[in-house]
């Protein structure tokens, strides 16, 4: 019997994942940008997010959160909003990447929800090989079979190479806990696929 799954609350097993349609990241992420001079990701229906191309394989991801997220207001013409962002950054620790912290917890980042807040998360993309392409979506979408065409909606950056220190810049519509997957396809002669899990708590 089909589970009729529409979201994660109705998924009870891996069998249900296979019957669930992928969830569009635009439902929660209203903007996704990459880099210090941010480049907006293109919304894209990906054939690559679920599994590597023939001949390619999954490898360990070199991507990692490298520091605390910074909150910036999108209402910079309102002094109270500017102060609220400064105050929030001062009073709230958004991540902890210290070597003494258990490695899985270094992927947990607190951000501020609402279209008035822009969250800049510092990340390292590794050095070599560089990525030719990066894709961001809900991680669980990679466990589905995709939509009717086998594709998954993602935010995509496909003008690499991408490597070294960078920033992931996100605006969230609502509060909640979201597991994101940042897919990287590197520039080896036979490209490798990597997936970095990012645990986002939007408050």
d(CA 185, CA 167): 18
For residue 31, give the H/E element and its range: strand 29-34
- The backbone torsions φ and ψ at residue 27, rounded to the nearest 5 degrees and listed phi first, read -60, -30
> What does the radius of gyration of the chain's CA atoms come to, in whole angstroms?
17
- The backbone torsions φ and ψ at residue 4, rounded to the nearest 5 degrees and listed phi first, read 60, 35
CA distances from 115 to 28, 30, 31, 124 (A): 10, 7, 9, 26
Residue with tokens 């822009």: 118
Would you list the domain boundaries of the chain? 22-202
Residues of the chain above pLDDT 70, percent:
96
Cβ-contact 125, 164 below 8 angstroms: yes
Residue 40 predicted with pLDDT over 60:
yes
pLDDT of 157-198, one tens digit each? 999 899 999 999 999 999 999 999 999 999 999 999 999 999
The CA-based diameter of the chain, rounded to the nearest angstrom, is 56
Instruction: Report residue 19's pLDDT band, with 50, 70 and 90 as the boundaries.
Output: confident
pLDDT of 100-114, one tens digit each? 999 999 999 999 999
Residue 69 predicted with pLDDT over 80:
yes
Cβ-contact 27, 140 below 8 angstroms: no
Beta-bridge mates of residue 162: 131
Looking at per-residue confidence, does 37 or 171 come out higher?
Answer: 171
Strands 193-202 and 108-111: parallel
Instruction: Report residue 33's pLDDT band, with 50, 70 and 90 as the boundaries.
Output: very high
């Amino acid at each position: 019997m089909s589970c009729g799954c529409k979201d994660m609350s109705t998924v009870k097993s891996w069998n249900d994942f296979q019957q669930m349609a992928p969830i569009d990241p635009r439902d929660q992420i209203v903007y996704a940008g990459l880099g210090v001079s941010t480049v907006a990701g293109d919304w894209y229906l990906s054939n690559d997010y679920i599994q590597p191309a023939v001949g390619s394989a999954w490898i360990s991801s070199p991507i990692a959160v490298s520091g605390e997220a910074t909150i910036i207001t999108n209402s910079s013409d309102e002094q109270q909003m500017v102060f609220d962002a400064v105050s929030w950054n001062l009073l709230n620790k958004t991540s902890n990447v210290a070597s003494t912290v258990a490695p899985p917890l270094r992927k947990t980042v607190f951000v501020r929800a609402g279209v008035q807040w822009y969250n800049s998360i510092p990340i390292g993309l590794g050095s070599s090989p560089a990525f030719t392409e990066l894709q961001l979506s809900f991680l669980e979408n990679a466990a589905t079979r995709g939509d009717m065409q086998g594709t998954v909606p993602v935010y995509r950056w496909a003008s690499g190479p991408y490597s070294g220190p960078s920033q992931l810049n996100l605006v969230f519509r609502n509060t909640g806990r979201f597991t994101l997957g940042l897919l990287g396809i590197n520039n080896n002669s036979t490209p490798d696929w990597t997936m970095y899990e990012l645990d986002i708590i939007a408050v």
